[in-house]
Amino acid sequence: MKISKFWHTNNTNSSDNFNLIELANTQRAISNFVKIQTGKDIPVEFIANDGGDSMTDGKKILISSTINTHNLDAVVGTALHEAAHCKHTDFFVLKKIANRLLEGNLMGGRRWIELLLNFIEDRRIDNLTYHDAPGYQDYYRAMYDRYFYSKIIDKGLKGKEYREENWDSYMFRIINMFNKNADTTALHCLPTIYKVVDLENIGRLTSTTHSLETAIEIYTLLNKHFSMQHKPKKNSIEDLLESKPNFSNPGEDKGPSKEEIKKVFNKQQEFLKGNVHKVKATKKDKQQIEAISKSKVDVKNVKATDSKGIEHTDIPVHVIDGITPTIIESNLYEVFGRVNLMNKQIDEGVAKGKKLLRKLRIRNEQITLQSNRLKSGKIDPRRIHAASFEEDLFYKIDRASYKPISLHVSIDGSGSMDGVKWNQTLINTIALGYISLHMNNIDLTISIRTTGKDLLKSSMTAHVPLLILAFNSKKHTMSDLRRLGHYKVKGLTPEGMCLNALNEYIPNSSYYLDSYLINMSDGYPTFEKQGKFTYKGEEAILDTAKAVKNIKKKGVNILSYFIKTPTTQTKEEELIKNFQIMYGKEASFIDPKNMHEVTKTLNNLFLKQNLIS
């Protein structure tokens, strides 16, 4: 059973490599495991094409970019193994190993000592993890199954190969001493080496220095053994028979050849050295994975009705939670520009927000009313001295404040909004954002509905419905608000699909909260997915109307504005009819040059004396 299935949601076939979103989610999960294991924020990164080593240096952990459900457990296990090195291995000992070898006149055996050290140190740290974090044991088993346990190794341990008295034979037998097929009688010194390593009591080694001394002890033992050996003379019958070809029965299983065993054995040695084969990610992919991971990009499957009237329940809408610097730098979904081209409009929005804020200061105030001479409440100390105790001595203070407002401004970010419409929309949206950052009882979320390049597909024309949760006054600052200027107005209008995904981010109205959705758009819902799914026409209009209705069921008040252009006036009656079908009869039509009407309407809404106590 794959232990990772408890936290990984697979959106691809088991044989397919993970897409960028799945890689980012996997990176985030492994980072959490590593943090739990080590108690440190050790970076977990994908190895890049622009260089770098595949082993850990104690400061970061590198993982492969080729991951699927088949190898995921082993990848996690390998990362946890490297995390164990970060936690338990003294990298200073490894760095200064030459000093110890020079001291003992052992430099000639450095290759074998380092390999022995890696083997013993791996057993020591893995034993610690096995006991300290039993929940990770299945990941470790998957790692060992991938790199150490195989039919070729099993047969090789039982077969006739690697039984010569030389370094390769000993290293093959030592590295695989924990295999159930290990044969302690295969070589002369193996029983002694088994006692020196003492796997069952490997916990007695408490440091990397202890592991190094054990490795040196084994090397010294073997070096002495080889120096005492004499080259055997081929003069016995046994030797003559051994030198002849082995004519085995045709039906007998000959087992793997030495070349086959050596190939797998080399793989084991590379693992011990930390040189695990890891497929490198391109620089662009690495940037986008980092952006996805840091920005909490998610995929929501929603319902949508195509142009043929067929309802689909698994249409993916990609959701970006926040516009971060890494998202901008990587141009995620190809809808962001590195340069903020809207600074002028943002500055205008801030100035407008400051003017409106002066009128709205009253919303931060609290209305207080004190009632005296009551029969119950708190005793009024100022009346006790003059009281005849036939009067009422109690008082009560009633406090009332403006009812909190939650605003969700959702903007159509499709290509048709480019130009004056987007400029004016951005100015007014920034003004609202500025107000929300300075008011105690107005919360604002700004989202953009559009389409972006499909990260799951290699085709440049593949795109997906995209919902960008660009700003949230509860957790963001003015710097985050200004990043709206990096958005490039482009794409289609997957209206209903994005609204279905948006629904869960809009709070319900209640006695203690008024919830509003402010929609600004300029066209019909449109989307097409490479001929497989077409979303347009009457069915898309009705589908959007259904999404709006579901939001209204939560008690959410909807204010919708259709931003007109000269090209739409010839079909104005049809537009009004269809827009009101989608958003209700209260939907308004405004000229982009009169966008201040939106802020004016909301300003009146803010000043409405709706008090709660």
How confident is the model over 344-357, as pLDDT tens digits?
Answer: 999 999 999 998 88
Average pLDDT of the residues of the chain: 83
Q: Which domains does the chain have, with CATH numbers?
A: 3-272 (no CATH), 296-361+402-612 (3.40.50.410), 367-399 (no CATH)
Across the range 519-544, mean pLDDT stands at: 89
Residue 48 confidence (pLDDT): 63
Report the interhelical angle of 258-272 vs 110-132 (nearest 10°): 70
Residues whose CB falls within 8 Å of the CB of residue 475, separated by 6 or more in sequence, listed in order? none
Across the range 454-478, mean pLDDT stands at: 86
Residue 70 confidence (pLDDT): 86
Residue 574 confidence (pLDDT): 83
Report yes or no: 498 and 529 within 8 Å, Cβ to Cβ. no
Across the range 96-111, mean pLDDT stands at: 93
Distance of CA 304 to the CA centre of its chain: 27
The whole-angstrom separation of Cα 560 and Cα 558 is 6
Decide which of 242 and 101 is more confident: 101
Decide which of 72 and 277 is more confident: 72
Residue 12 confidence (pLDDT): 52
Whether the pLDDT of residue 554 is over 80: the answer is yes
Decide which of 391 and 526 is more confident: 526
Residue 379 confidence (pLDDT): 55
Report yes or no: 352 and 427 within 8 Å, Cβ to Cβ. yes
Model confidence at 243, in pLDDT bands (50, 70, 90)? very low
Residue 268 confidence (pLDDT): 83
Please give the C-alpha separations between residue 285 and each of 91, 96, 331, 456, 459, in angstroms, as whole numbers: 31, 36, 11, 12, 14
Model confidence at 249, in pLDDT bands (50, 70, 90)? very low
Whether the pLDDT of residue 374 is over 60: the answer is no
The whole-angstrom separation of Cα 581 and Cα 350 is 34
The whole-angstrom separation of Cα 186 and Cα 161 is 10
- Per the document, the length of the chain is 613
Please give the C-alpha separations between residue 13 and each of 64, 68, 72, 263, in angstroms, as whole numbers: 19, 8, 13, 30
Bridging pattern class, strands 557-563 and 588-590? parallel
Residues whose CB falls within 8 Å of the CB of residue 343, separated by 6 or more in sequence, listed in order? 482, 485
Across the range 506-529, mean pLDDT stands at: 91
The whole-angstrom separation of Cα 561 and Cα 409 is 11
Percent of the chain's residues with pLDDT above 70: 81
- Which is nearest to 162 in space by CA: 174, 152, 151, 170? 170
Q: Is the pTM of this model over 0.85?
A: no
Q: Which two tokens stand for residue 457?
A: 């597909």
- What is the DSSP secondary structure assignment for residue 244, as one 8-state letter? S
Strands (E), 267-365: 298-305, 311-321
Model confidence at 440, in pLDDT bands (50, 70, 90)? confident
